[in-house]
Amino acid sequence: MTAPARILTIAGSDSGGGAGIAADLRTIVNLGGFGMLAVTAVTAQNTLGVFGIWPLAPDAVAQQIAVVRSDIGLDAAKTGMLVDAGIVCAVADVWEGSGVPLVVDPILISASGTRLLDEAGVCAVRERLVPLASVVTPNLAEAAALTGWEVESLSSRERAARRLVEMGARAALITGGHGSGADVVDLLFDGREVTLFHSPRQDTRHTHGTGCTLSAAIATALGQGLPLREAVARSIAYVQRAIQSGPGLGTGHGPLGIPSPEP
Protein backbone atom coordinates (compact mmCIF):
# COMPACT_ATOMS: atom_id res chain seq x y z
CA MET A 1 0.00 0.00 0.00
CA THR A 2 1.34 3.44 -0.92
CA ALA A 3 1.70 5.74 2.06
CA PRO A 4 -0.18 9.06 1.86
CA ALA A 5 1.68 12.35 1.64
CA ARG A 6 2.52 13.63 5.13
CA ILE A 7 1.23 17.20 5.47
CA LEU A 8 1.69 19.44 8.52
CA THR A 9 -0.44 22.46 9.34
CA ILE A 10 1.09 25.07 11.66
CA ALA A 11 -1.90 27.15 12.67
CA GLY A 12 -4.43 28.11 15.30
CA SER A 13 -7.59 26.35 16.34
CA ASP A 14 -11.07 27.57 15.41
CA SER A 15 -13.67 26.42 17.93
CA GLY A 16 -16.35 26.93 15.27
CA GLY A 17 -14.57 24.49 12.95
CA GLY A 18 -14.64 26.77 9.91
CA ALA A 19 -11.00 27.81 9.58
CA GLY A 20 -7.57 27.14 11.08
CA ILE A 21 -6.42 23.62 11.81
CA ALA A 22 -9.97 22.25 11.53
CA ALA A 23 -10.32 23.43 7.92
CA ASP A 24 -6.73 22.44 7.14
CA LEU A 25 -7.05 18.87 8.39
CA ARG A 26 -10.40 18.36 6.63
CA THR A 27 -8.81 19.51 3.39
CA ILE A 28 -5.62 17.48 3.74
CA VAL A 29 -7.46 14.25 4.54
CA ASN A 30 -10.15 14.78 1.89
CA LEU A 31 -7.44 15.26 -0.75
CA GLY A 32 -5.70 12.03 0.23
CA GLY A 33 -2.98 13.30 2.56
CA PHE A 34 -2.12 12.35 6.13
CA GLY A 35 -2.70 15.43 8.26
CA MET A 36 -0.61 16.48 11.25
CA LEU A 37 -0.67 19.66 13.27
CA ALA A 38 1.35 22.12 15.30
CA VAL A 39 -1.07 24.32 17.23
CA THR A 40 -0.01 27.97 17.54
CA ALA A 41 -2.99 29.29 19.49
CA VAL A 42 -6.40 28.39 20.83
CA THR A 43 -9.25 30.67 19.83
CA ALA A 44 -12.86 31.07 20.86
CA GLN A 45 -14.77 31.84 17.69
CA ASN A 46 -17.87 31.09 15.67
CA THR A 47 -19.32 32.44 12.42
CA LEU A 48 -19.87 35.85 14.04
CA GLY A 49 -16.30 36.56 15.06
CA VAL A 50 -13.26 35.83 17.20
CA PHE A 51 -13.97 36.28 20.91
CA GLY A 52 -10.66 35.18 22.45
CA ILE A 53 -7.10 34.21 21.47
CA TRP A 54 -4.63 32.36 23.68
CA PRO A 55 -1.20 31.87 22.03
CA LEU A 56 1.06 28.95 22.88
CA ALA A 57 4.67 29.48 23.89
CA PRO A 58 7.02 29.64 20.88
CA ASP A 59 9.01 26.67 22.22
CA ALA A 60 5.82 24.59 22.35
CA VAL A 61 5.10 25.34 18.71
CA ALA A 62 8.67 24.55 17.63
CA GLN A 63 8.73 21.26 19.54
CA GLN A 64 5.48 20.08 17.96
CA ILE A 65 7.06 20.57 14.54
CA ALA A 66 10.38 18.99 15.50
CA VAL A 67 9.01 15.79 17.03
CA VAL A 68 6.62 15.14 14.14
CA ARG A 69 9.37 15.69 11.59
CA SER A 70 11.92 13.52 13.41
CA ASP A 71 9.61 10.50 13.66
CA ILE A 72 6.82 10.52 11.06
CA GLY A 73 8.50 12.82 8.55
CA LEU A 74 7.05 15.53 6.33
CA ASP A 75 6.34 15.89 2.62
CA ALA A 76 4.99 19.46 2.86
CA ALA A 77 3.60 21.95 5.36
CA LYS A 78 1.65 25.17 5.58
CA THR A 79 1.48 28.01 8.05
CA GLY A 80 -1.67 29.83 9.11
CA MET A 81 -2.33 32.05 12.12
CA LEU A 82 0.96 32.68 13.95
CA VAL A 83 -0.17 35.45 16.35
CA ASP A 84 3.16 37.15 17.13
CA ALA A 85 6.81 37.54 16.19
CA GLY A 86 7.96 35.00 18.79
CA ILE A 87 5.98 32.20 17.17
CA VAL A 88 6.95 33.31 13.65
CA CYS A 89 10.64 33.22 14.55
CA ALA A 90 10.30 29.87 16.32
CA VAL A 91 8.73 28.35 13.19
CA ALA A 92 11.43 29.88 10.98
CA ASP A 93 14.21 28.64 13.27
CA VAL A 94 13.01 25.04 13.18
CA TRP A 95 12.21 25.16 9.45
CA GLU A 96 15.48 26.57 8.07
CA GLY A 97 17.43 23.99 6.13
CA SER A 98 14.61 21.40 6.21
CA GLY A 99 14.23 21.24 2.43
CA VAL A 100 10.50 20.50 2.85
CA PRO A 101 8.01 22.53 0.75
CA LEU A 102 6.36 25.24 2.84
CA VAL A 103 3.20 27.15 1.91
CA VAL A 104 3.04 30.43 3.83
CA ASP A 105 -0.49 31.76 4.29
CA PRO A 106 0.18 35.13 5.98
CA ILE A 107 -3.04 35.43 7.98
CA LEU A 108 -3.30 38.96 9.38
CA ILE A 109 -6.98 39.68 10.02
CA SER A 110 -10.02 37.41 10.43
CA ALA A 111 -13.09 37.69 8.21
CA SER A 112 -14.83 39.48 11.10
CA GLY A 113 -12.02 42.05 11.41
CA THR A 114 -10.03 40.71 14.38
CA ARG A 115 -6.27 41.22 14.19
CA LEU A 116 -4.57 37.79 14.13
CA LEU A 117 -0.90 38.83 13.74
CA ASP A 118 0.73 41.80 15.46
CA GLU A 119 2.90 44.38 13.69
CA ALA A 120 6.15 42.80 14.85
CA GLY A 121 4.81 39.50 13.57
CA VAL A 122 4.18 41.00 10.12
CA CYS A 123 7.81 42.15 10.01
CA ALA A 124 8.96 38.70 11.12
CA VAL A 125 6.89 37.00 8.40
CA ARG A 126 8.38 39.39 5.85
CA GLU A 127 11.96 38.85 7.00
CA ARG A 128 11.99 35.24 8.23
CA LEU A 129 9.16 33.20 6.69
CA VAL A 130 8.73 34.64 3.20
CA PRO A 131 12.32 33.63 2.29
CA LEU A 132 11.50 30.04 3.32
CA ALA A 133 8.27 29.81 1.30
CA SER A 134 7.82 27.53 -1.67
CA VAL A 135 4.80 29.74 -2.29
CA VAL A 136 3.26 32.55 -0.26
CA THR A 137 -0.52 32.99 -0.62
CA PRO A 138 -1.66 36.46 0.57
CA ASN A 139 -5.00 38.04 -0.20
CA LEU A 140 -5.00 41.64 -1.43
CA ALA A 141 -4.79 43.23 2.03
CA GLU A 142 -2.08 40.82 3.16
CA ALA A 143 -0.04 41.44 0.02
CA ALA A 144 -0.31 45.17 0.69
CA ALA A 145 0.87 44.73 4.30
CA LEU A 146 3.84 42.61 3.26
CA THR A 147 4.99 44.84 0.41
CA GLY A 148 3.91 48.27 1.67
CA TRP A 149 2.11 48.94 -1.61
CA GLU A 150 -1.56 49.30 -2.49
CA VAL A 151 -2.69 46.06 -4.12
CA GLU A 152 -5.95 45.97 -6.09
CA SER A 153 -5.54 46.08 -9.89
CA LEU A 154 -4.04 43.19 -11.83
CA SER A 155 -0.91 45.20 -12.49
CA SER A 156 -0.47 45.96 -8.78
CA ARG A 157 -1.03 42.28 -7.96
CA GLU A 158 1.70 41.28 -10.38
CA ARG A 159 4.00 43.92 -8.94
CA ALA A 160 3.36 42.60 -5.41
CA ALA A 161 3.90 38.99 -6.46
CA ARG A 162 7.20 39.87 -8.09
CA ARG A 163 8.24 41.78 -4.97
CA LEU A 164 7.49 38.80 -2.72
CA VAL A 165 9.69 36.63 -4.93
CA GLU A 166 12.41 39.27 -4.72
CA MET A 167 12.03 39.01 -0.92
CA GLY A 168 12.94 35.33 -1.13
CA ALA A 169 9.78 33.34 -1.80
CA ARG A 170 10.12 30.87 -4.67
CA ALA A 171 6.61 31.82 -5.84
CA ALA A 172 3.71 34.07 -4.86
CA LEU A 173 -0.02 33.56 -5.34
CA ILE A 174 -2.03 36.76 -4.83
CA THR A 175 -5.59 35.64 -4.20
CA GLY A 176 -8.45 37.75 -5.52
CA GLY A 177 -11.38 36.72 -3.38
CA HIS A 178 -11.47 40.08 -1.62
CA GLY A 179 -11.45 41.97 -4.90
CA SER A 180 -14.40 43.01 -7.05
CA GLY A 181 -15.88 41.94 -10.35
CA ALA A 182 -17.80 38.95 -11.66
CA ASP A 183 -14.67 36.77 -11.61
CA VAL A 184 -12.21 36.01 -8.85
CA VAL A 185 -8.76 36.38 -10.39
CA ASP A 186 -5.86 34.71 -8.59
CA LEU A 187 -2.39 35.64 -9.85
CA LEU A 188 0.58 33.29 -9.60
CA PHE A 189 4.17 34.34 -10.25
CA ASP A 190 6.57 31.41 -10.10
CA GLY A 191 9.74 33.42 -10.55
CA ARG A 192 9.60 33.12 -14.33
CA GLU A 193 6.08 33.75 -15.59
CA VAL A 194 2.69 34.97 -14.49
CA THR A 195 -0.40 32.74 -14.61
CA LEU A 196 -3.95 34.00 -14.05
CA PHE A 197 -6.68 31.74 -12.68
CA HIS A 198 -10.26 32.91 -13.29
CA SER A 199 -13.17 31.57 -11.21
CA PRO A 200 -16.79 32.77 -11.01
CA ARG A 201 -17.43 34.90 -7.92
CA GLN A 202 -20.08 33.15 -5.83
CA ASP A 203 -22.71 35.27 -4.08
CA THR A 204 -22.64 33.76 -0.59
CA ARG A 205 -21.72 34.65 2.98
CA HIS A 206 -20.41 31.12 3.54
CA THR A 207 -16.74 31.71 2.79
CA HIS A 208 -15.12 31.33 6.22
CA GLY A 209 -11.89 29.38 5.83
CA THR A 210 -11.33 29.85 2.10
CA GLY A 211 -7.72 30.99 2.54
CA CYS A 212 -6.94 28.17 4.97
CA THR A 213 -8.53 25.62 2.67
CA LEU A 214 -6.67 26.91 -0.37
CA SER A 215 -3.23 26.90 1.28
CA ALA A 216 -3.83 23.46 2.82
CA ALA A 217 -4.89 22.12 -0.58
CA ILE A 218 -1.76 23.55 -2.22
CA ALA A 219 0.47 22.06 0.49
CA THR A 220 -1.18 18.67 0.01
CA ALA A 221 -0.73 18.81 -3.75
CA LEU A 222 2.95 19.78 -3.44
CA GLY A 223 3.46 16.98 -0.92
CA GLN A 224 1.92 14.59 -3.44
CA GLY A 225 4.46 15.69 -6.02
CA LEU A 226 2.36 17.95 -8.27
CA PRO A 227 4.12 20.83 -10.04
CA LEU A 228 3.24 24.23 -8.60
CA ARG A 229 0.89 25.49 -11.33
CA GLU A 230 -1.01 22.20 -11.38
CA ALA A 231 -1.16 22.24 -7.58
CA VAL A 232 -2.58 25.77 -7.57
CA ALA A 233 -5.13 25.02 -10.31
CA ARG A 234 -6.37 21.89 -8.52
CA SER A 235 -6.60 23.76 -5.22
CA ILE A 236 -8.52 26.73 -6.60
CA ALA A 237 -11.03 24.38 -8.22
CA TYR A 238 -11.36 22.51 -4.92
CA VAL A 239 -12.12 25.73 -3.02
CA GLN A 240 -14.77 26.63 -5.57
CA ARG A 241 -16.49 23.28 -4.98
CA ALA A 242 -16.13 23.70 -1.21
CA ILE A 243 -17.92 27.06 -1.36
CA GLN A 244 -20.68 25.56 -3.52
CA SER A 245 -21.19 22.73 -1.02
CA GLY A 246 -21.29 24.94 2.09
CA PRO A 247 -23.67 23.51 4.71
CA GLY A 248 -25.26 26.89 5.54
CA LEU A 249 -24.29 26.85 9.21
CA GLY A 250 -24.29 29.86 11.52
CA THR A 251 -25.61 33.37 11.15
CA GLY A 252 -22.36 35.09 10.13
CA HIS A 253 -19.51 34.03 7.83
CA GLY A 254 -20.38 30.35 7.49
CA PRO A 255 -17.93 27.51 6.84
CA LEU A 256 -17.21 25.74 3.57
CA GLY A 257 -18.47 22.27 2.76
CA ILE A 258 -16.52 19.07 2.17
CA PRO A 259 -16.70 18.49 -1.59
CA SER A 260 -15.63 15.58 -3.72
CA PRO A 261 -11.83 15.66 -4.06
CA GLU A 262 -12.19 15.59 -7.86
CA PRO A 263 -14.77 17.33 -10.11
- Pick the closest to residue 21 from 2, 5, 45, 4 (CA basis): 45
Cβ–Cβ < 8 Å for 246, 254:
yes
Domains of the chain, with CATH numbers? 6-244 (3.40.1190.20)
pLDDT at res. 185: 94
Helices (H), 72-209: 85-95, 119-124, 140-147, 154-166
Strand partners, 49: 46
- In angstroms, the CA 103 to CA 155 distance is 23
pLDDT at res. 60: 98
pLDDT at res. 246: 92
pLDDT at res. 179: 73
pLDDT at res. 103: 98
- Give the other-Cβ count within 10 Å of 89's Cβ: 20
Helix, strand or coil, per DSSP, at residue 114: coil
Residues lower than pLDDT 50 in the chain: none
Cα distances from 146 to residues 141, 198, 210, 212, in angstroms, run 9, 24, 20, 18
Q: Side chain identity at 35, as an amino acid letter?
A: G
Q: HSE on the CB side for 44, CA within 13 Å?
A: 3
pLDDT at res. 238: 97
Q: Cα–Cα–Cα angle for 103, 200, 161, nearest 5°?
A: 35
- In angstroms, the CA 12 to CA 27 distance is 15
